[in-house]
């Protein structure tokens, strides 16, 4: 009697765990398929959109910057260009000698005004 109850309980446990693992495996497959479908659409949009910073791989070393008036470049602009070049090189896993930053411009925030105000408030009160 006790042995039959334990066997029945073990069978129910194995059946429940098996069903759970099969269902979770099915969910993983469904999520991966949806992820591939969604990312394929995003990759097509990325190819069509323009790149904000023009990156040209060349044989020359250093940063080649062509702005309308290069004589107005001061130390801060040179530091900003160096930081941008380093960030691009780090994201592409390449050397800074392979990257030439020709121009750059600030991209405006696309966040709503309330989001920017809240972010500014958080930074000023927390830091």
Residue 24: the pLDDT is 98
> What is the torsion angle, in degrees rounded to the nearest 10, for the CA atoms of residue 75, residue 79, residue 85 and residue 90?
170
- 30 pLDDT more than 90: yes
Residue 7: the pLDDT is 94
Distance of alpha carbon 24 from alpha carbon 31, whole angstroms: 10
Q: What confidence tens digit (pLDDT) does each residue in 41-90 have?
A: 776 666 555 444 444 444 333 444 444 444 455 667 788 888 888 888 88
| DSSP per-residue codes, 78-98 | HHHHHHHHHHHHHHHT--GGG
Distance of alpha carbon 67 from alpha carbon 53, whole angstroms: 13
Average pLDDT across the chain, whole number: 78
| DSSP per-residue codes, 1-53 | -HHHHHHHHHHHHHHHHHHHHHHHHHHHHHHHHHHHHHHHHHHHHHHHSPPSS
Q: Taking the complete model, does pTM exceed 0.95, yes or no?
A: no
Distance of alpha carbon 98 from alpha carbon 100, whole angstroms: 7
Confidence at 22, pLDDT banded by 50, 70, 90: very high
């Amino acid at each position: 009697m006790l042995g039959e109850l334990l066997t029945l309980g073990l069978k129910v446990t194995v059946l429940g765990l098996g069903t759970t693992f099969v269902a979770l495996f099915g969910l993983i497959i469904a999520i991966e398929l949806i992820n591939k479908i969604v990312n394929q659409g995003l990759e097509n949009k990325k190819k069509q959109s323009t790149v904000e910073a023009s990156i040209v791989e060349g044989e020359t070393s250093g940063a080649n910057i062509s702005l309308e008036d290069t004589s107005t470049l001061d130390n801060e602009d040179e530091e900003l260009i160096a930081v941008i070049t380093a960030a691009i090189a780090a994201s592409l896993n390449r050397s800074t000698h392979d990257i030439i930053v020709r121009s750059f411009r600030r991209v405006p925030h696309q966040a709503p005004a309330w989001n920017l105000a809240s972010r500014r408030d958080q930074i000023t009160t927390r830091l």
